[in-house]
A and B are shown apart, each in its own frame.
Chain A
Amino acid sequence: MSESQFTISSLGKELQAQRTTAVAATRQCVERINNTDNQLNAFITRCDDSAFQDATAADARLSAGSAATLTGIPLGLKDIFSTKGVRTTCGSKILDNYVPVYDATVVERLRAQGAVIVGKLNMDEFAMGSSNETSAAGVCRNPWDKNHVPGGSSGGSAVAVAAGQVVAALGTDTGGSIRQPAAHCGVVGLKPTYGRVSRYGVIAFASSLDQVGPITRTVDDCALLLEAIAGYDPRDSTSVDCPVPDYQAHLRDGVTGKKIGLPREYFIEGLDPEVKRAVDDAIEVYRRLGAELVPVSLPHTDYSVACYYLIATAEASSNLARYDGVRFGVRHSSGGGLIDMYQQTRSAGFGAEVKRRIMLGTYALSSGYYDAYYLKAQKVRTLIRQDFHNVFEQVDLLLTPVAPTAAFKIGEKTDDPLQMYLSDIFTIPANLAGTCAMSLPCGFDAAGMPIGLQLIGKPFGEGEMLQTAWAFEQATDWHTRQPVL
């Protein structure tokens, strides 16, 4: 096993025992990136120099015996996190030259633990996409088959972890943007409960849906990284002041007697038969492990995608108003005055998908349409949230597929935005409901592309969800497979 296949826990043990150094681990990652990223394009900005500085500092801390869980662990960040002094583009031309003056709260927390930040990872522009094809930095490729998309929007994060370029990464998930690429790349991805992790310094797409989460090789790592970033932040009014549990404490408690719901609305026509088979196999695994599988219903599931594309675009249309060329970012102007500057800057700076969503959202909020679209969507959202509330009275968590298909081919859906939007059909409801959900590897299709299993937990039920995921991971070996590069 090469060092590139280290996990947070295995590398952590090596570092603590001083059998290797953070500098060596970082060098391993940098070499892996050098060898693979011309094929994969997972990185938008590399931080080799500062990464080695981080690693040197981490080694000093390790020698001094004051190391934390993440000290010396090479990590990647989706290019949506504000990083002081490191260019942050959010996958957009409009931020091509933007260098933030401050760190996001989650970045501060990683730095405080002594993590090594290796670089900023590719993503769909402003996190708007399900394939990483809308990135201004170009498409990022799936390491299992480079003609396939990695999923999105946190495509670069999933690819970098799957390809061993970093040990783990952070992504963001607004409608599935952590879980879907994690599934497509055969790694573990977790979207926490809304409010569990601070959004301060995370470039907003849809503020009421966005949430930061880990993408890792194992469930164990996912628990470790989540614990490091979770917790109340007074700088984010929507973060919740609720203690962060020790996720390791009950990780290995098993699933005997646990009630797992199978929502019938997620096992529908259009679900790829190979995906269905893999998920059915996973259900069998849980049955064998002693869980009780219960058919349940989330009756408003059908409205999720429509509801999501009204709320997310409405919020985005407002969130993206600040990209006006006045204070930061790329300005285009031919000297024709203010309106001209706005129009040229935004016309040249935003890509087609971002423009489409700004227009959709602007329309949904417009005078005369607000009640019919935005307000109606909010009411539907309440019904969807109630569906989850009701079902969690019957079961402990839910099991579903992550996406209707495995990773599709690059270019396959770019001309059909509606088809693209439907690839998030199983992941969107958890964002609308604000609850936690995660993806873990559960098989491969005939073409050798990974398939993901989704667990949806109760609000702030990350601990129980991780415990359930860990039991599956122990019983299977899907997570041990590595793409050949």
Chain B
Amino acid sequence: MNTRYETVIGLEVHVQLTTATKIFCGCSTAFGQAPNSQTCPVCLGLPGALPVLNREVVNAAIKAGLATNCRIAPYSIFARKNYFYPDLPKGYQISQFELPICEHGWLDIGGEEFAAKRVGITRIHMEEDAGKLLHGSSAGSLVDLNRACTPLLEVVSEPDMRSAAEAIAYLKQLHQIVVYLGVCDGNMEEGSFRCDANVSVRPVGQVELGTRAELKNLNSFRFIKQAIDFEVERQIELIEDGGKVIQETRLFDPDAGVTRSMRGKEQAHDYRYFPDPDLLPLEVSDVWIDEVRAALPELPGQKRQRYEEALGLPAYDAAVLAAERPVAEYFDALVVLHKNPKLCSNWVMGEVLGAVKENDVAIVDCPVTPTLLAGILKRIEDNTISGKMAKTVFTTIWQSGKSADEVIAEKGLKQVSDSGALDAIIDEVIAANPTEVAEYQGGKDKLMGFFVGQVMKASKGKANPGLVNQLLKERLSA
């Protein structure tokens, strides 16, 4: 990468909301239904039909705004964005233009590849989605308006990011937040979380921004990185060769890994925005905002901080546990029942996540509930079972749903911690291995592991390994 240039990136993210019904009518938002089966006069744009704002969409917007440190506007306005396209039934999209619901927010991002920084969020506004065109039918192009009028939030960042890595870090954090809030399912392939990137370059030290290109069709984090990296190289090469970057929309081609010009500024639409006279200005009271704030879940950043500071977990554990809300909630439920955070963390990150992944179940459906797992952890800590035994117990509980104590009792897995019983086994092992005893006593300390192994084997795994270690040391050093 050419170090004489600085990359400048601003992102526009469309977050499809998970409300049960559309933003301006009562139709369902469910995905994958028969074409045009989820429509009514309002979302079909039939003559005379009028929009009525879905209050849940406003709740989602306030949630997203509060979670990204925005100011929530007490008064905001819906506007019409006018353009013709067959997937846009009314010939205009209802959006917000001047006076959006959220402004002046920020997210802090940090990563291994760059220093921690704050990315500004210019605005978040509510709008309706368009329908979908289906090309290639024998009847010509067809229109499916099931998606028309489904609610979106558009989150617009400041041009504060300086590399693809920063852009990805910002996007991942935003993605995590909206999924955490439960306002978006986060599915990028289905288009529930879509990103356009405004990319420009400028010589290092220059204050004015370079001319930007708007990149579209970026439907995975990997494509976003590829597209930005390609575009930065393209613009630098163009400038180095004496050319000029033109302001245009460019489409990313994931097969070729390149961006291609879609339309230039001269073909840009004049959207003729004006306040939608069918909708009243939206007034959001402090009481409403406070209600939403009070119901906000603990956010991933707050969770990470609590895990590290209050629970003393390593940063890595905190990040893994906080990454997804259901995992964090599983962990939170567990750590209340069993107050050894590191042991809990090890088990959630290890056995629990491993098992749910292997069995392809959601963690909320994990048969070993936090209560059942806490039962296992309790028996590890009081030395009833060894850590290794505990894994067997975990697997048995997964299949049977029984408690740890039931499984331990039924299978006779109770650890032998009675030194009398262990002495007898140790006697046998020492008697059976005179050569190793001599070698150990001659200074070959590594053989301790061998003796422990032999005792464990003779006890069928039930011996308390800590106690075995201690007893062996006493006996062999005698």
Contacts and interface: CB of A to CB of B under 8 A. Distances in A.
Interface of A: 81-82, 88, 90, 95, 98, 100-102, 104, 199-204, 206-208, 234-238, 314-315, 317-318, 320-322, 324, 326-328, 338, 342, 362, 365-367, 370, 374
A327 B86 CA distance: 9
A311 B279 CA distance: 16
Given A324-B91, A326-B86, A365-B82, A100 B46 contact: yes
A272 to B, nearest CB: 34
A367 B270 contact: yes
B53 A326 contact: no
Secondary structure dominating the interface of B: loop
Secondary structure dominating the interface of A: loop
Interface in B39-57: 41, 44-53
Contacts of B279: 237-238
B467 to A, nearest CB: 73
Given A200-B49, A327-B45, A321 B82 contact: yes
Given A82-B48, A318-B92, 17 more contacts: A81-B48, A88-B47, A100-B48, A102-B46, A201-B49, A203-B47, A203-B48, A207-B278, A237-B278, A237-B279, A237-B280, A318-B272, A318-B274, A321-B90, A327-B45, A338-B86, A374-B274
Contacts, number: 102
Contacts of B270: 366-367
A201 B50 CA distance: 8
A201 B45 CA distance: 11
Interface of B: 41, 44-53, 80, 82, 84, 86, 89-92, 143, 270, 272-274, 277-280
Given A318-B80, A321-B84, A104 B91 contact: no
Contacts of B90: 321-322
B45 A208 contact: no
B274 A322 contact: no
A200 B86 contact: no
Nearest to A339: B84
A200 B48 contact: yes
20 contacts: A81-B48, A82-B47, A98-B47, A100-B48, A102-B49, A199-B48, A199-B50, A201-B41, A203-B47, A204-B278, A207-B278, A318-B82, A318-B92, A321-B84, A321-B91, A324-B84, A324-B86, A327-B45, A365-B274, A367-B272
Contacts of A90: 47
A235 B52 contact: yes
Q: What 7 A-B pairs come out closest when comparing CB atoms?
A: A321-B91, A208-B277, A365-B272, A207-B277, A201-B48, A82-B48, A203-B47
Contacts of B89: 322, 326-327
Nearest to B44: A327
Contact of A362 (B80, B86, B272): B272
Contacts of B50: 199-200, 235-238
A284 B46 CA distance: 49
Most B C-beta atoms less than 10 A away, residue of A200, A317, A322:
A322
B52 to A, nearest CB: 5
Contacts of B280: 237-238
A315 B46 contact: no
Contact of A322 (B52, B91, B272): B91
Contacts of A98: 47
Contacts of A203: 47-48
A452 B47 CA distance: 32
Nearest to A90: B47
Given A208-B277, A321-B90, A366 B46 contact: no
Nearest to B24: A237
A326 B89 CA distance: 8
A32 B35 CA distance: 47
Most A C-beta atoms less than 10 A away, residue of B50, B52, B84, B278:
B50
Contact of A104 (B48, B86, B273): B48
Contacts of B91: 318, 320-322, 324
Contacts of A206: 277
Given A362-B272, A365-B82, A367-B272, A95 B143 contact: no
Contacts of A370: 272, 274
Given A200-B50, A234-B52, A362-B272, A322 B45 contact: yes
B83 to A, nearest CB: 8
A104 B41 CA distance: 11
A322 B274 CA distance: 17
Nearest to B41: A102
Contacts of A318: 80, 82, 91-92, 272, 274
B307 to A, nearest CB: 45
B84 A202 contact: no
Given A321-B84, A322-B89, A326-B86, A366 B272 contact: yes
A127 B45 CA distance: 19
Contacts of A367: 270, 272
Contacts of A208: 277
Most B C-beta atoms less than 10 A away, residue of A81, A95, A367:
A367
A82 B46 contact: yes
Contacts of A204: 47-48, 278
A324 B280 CA distance: 27
Nearest to A329: B47
Nearest to A95: B47
